[in-house]
Structure 1
Amino acid sequence: MKILLISDEESKYMWDFFVPENFKDIDIIISCGDLKAEYLSFLVTMIKAPLFYIRGNHDNNYKNNPPEGCECIDGKIINYNGIRIMGLGGSMKYRETTLVYTEKEMRKRINKLKFGLFFNRGVDIIVSHAAPKGINDENDLCHEGFKCFLELIQKYSPKYFCHGHIHLNYGNKKRIANYKNTMVINAFDHYIFEY
């Protein structure tokens, strides 16, 4: 199964210069947040694959203008063709606004999904906006990762942990890191991988 990850910045390759042939074999699109609703609606229309998304810390407008034809998996676990996917949007709380969480609040969100994790016997892909603490994150509070994400990886050993929020043009950042048996992928702009 070929998966297209997108996050944080609308890709000119897909938004301005879209060539259908380049995406004919995409089976699923996953958004890791902070993208225009219109962009997601455009991609799900043009690529003809389901698009699942979580909200980033700048996606407040989704409440009144959600991406059309797309499915929000924020705070849920879904099963798509046998692949268990868990969504956890938002970032570390750096100011008083929505879609930002303290470490304690994010841990509480994860705890609400424990029955689903048990029922589904774990998870294959975790989709978040923020990175795990110490992996692909930054030192400033806004871009700091969550420790509870590390614990989630340690306990359930998903194949992939996909996140956004950390722009690769911030500097010396990596697209892919490995933690235990999990590949951690920064979805900035876009990235295609084979599940």
Structure 2
Amino acid sequence: MKILAIADEESRSLWDYFTKDKVEGVDLILSCGDLDPGYLEFLVTMTNCPLLYVNGNHDRKYLQNPPEGCICIENRVYDYKGLRVLGLGGSMRYRPDAPFMYTESEMTSRISKVNREIILRNGFDILVSHAPAKGYGDMEDLPHQGFECFNQLLNKYHPAYMIHGHVHKTYLPGSFEREIRHPSGTRIINAFQSCMLEIGRDEYPAVGKTGSFLYDFVMTLKQKRGPKY
């Protein structure tokens, strides 16, 4: 599966100078936040494939103007052709009145609330977040610190990928890392601007093959009824 991951800054190559060949073969778009809703609408229209997104800490505008034609996956596990994608947007709280900022305990609470969905699906394959995990691609200042509870989540479920944004390449001149390997085995990808991922068919279960009897039964029935995002 070919995935376009985007975050933080609109890519001029994909917007101002867009050509169809740049997104040829893309099956799914994952947005990690802090992007213009018009940009997401443009990409989902031009690629004609699903775009799943979480909120960044600067996405207050999404409350009044959510990107049309795109799918918000905040606090849920979204299944796309067997690929289980968990969405947990937002950053560490550094302002009291911001809608998409969380303390460590608040993010931990969000994970607890979605844990039933994770268990039902026998895990997840990709964590899409805005902030990084603490110690893996984050920074020392409070606004750009990562969440420790993300480390606990990765260590418990061992997803193949975590894709985040929030830490711009320009914030770490000379030391920016696009990919970091987590001790859990998860590949952590910073999607700043954009990057392409090729996810092998062996990296996620086939539809109806997660090992969760109830969930597999439901998904098999849905598959028989025809394709649907």
TM-score category, normalised to shorter length: over 0.9
Q: 188, 191, 196: which one pairs with 1:187?
A: 191
Is the counterpart of residue 107 in structure 1 residue 111 in structure 2? Answer: no
Aligned with 1:177: secondary structure?
strand
Q: What aligned pairs does 1:1-195 form with structure 2 within 5 A after superposition?
A: 1-96=1-96, 97-171=98-172, 172-179=175-182, 180-195=184-199
Aligned with 2:118: secondary structure?
helix
Q: Residue by residue, what CA displacement relative to the aligned partner does 1:88-119 show, whole Å, maximum 9, x if unpaired? A: 01000011121000000000000001111110
Moved more, 139-148 or 93-102: 93-102
Aligned counterparts of 2:170 and 2:34: Cα–Cα separation in 1: 16
* Equivalent position of 2:215 in the other structure: none
Provide the TM-score with structure 2 as the length reference. Answer: 0.84
Aligned with 1:9: secondary structure?
coil
What is the CA distance between 1:49 and its match in structure 2? 1.0
Opposite residue 174 of structure 1, the aligned amino acid is: E
Opposite residue 81 of structure 2, the aligned amino acid is: N
Aligned counterparts of 1:137 and 1:59: Cα–Cα separation in 2: 20
Q: What stretches of structure 1 move > 6 A for 4+ residues in a row?
A: none
What is the CA distance between 1:7 and its match in structure 2? 0.3
Count, aligned residues: 195
Opposite residue 131 of structure 2, the aligned amino acid is: A
Aligned counterparts of 2:156 and 2:21: Cα–Cα separation in 1: 40
> Which structure has the bigger radius of gyration?
2
Aligned with 1:49: secondary structure?
coil
- Structure 1: any 5+ residue segments left out of the alignment? none
Aligned counterparts of 2:18 and 2:176: Cα–Cα separation in 1: 27
- Structure 2: any 5+ residue segments left out of the alignment? 200-229
Aligned counterparts of 1:175 and 1:139: Cα–Cα separation in 2: 18
Aligned with 2:139: secondary structure?
coil
What is the CA distance between 1:169 and its match in structure 2? 1.4
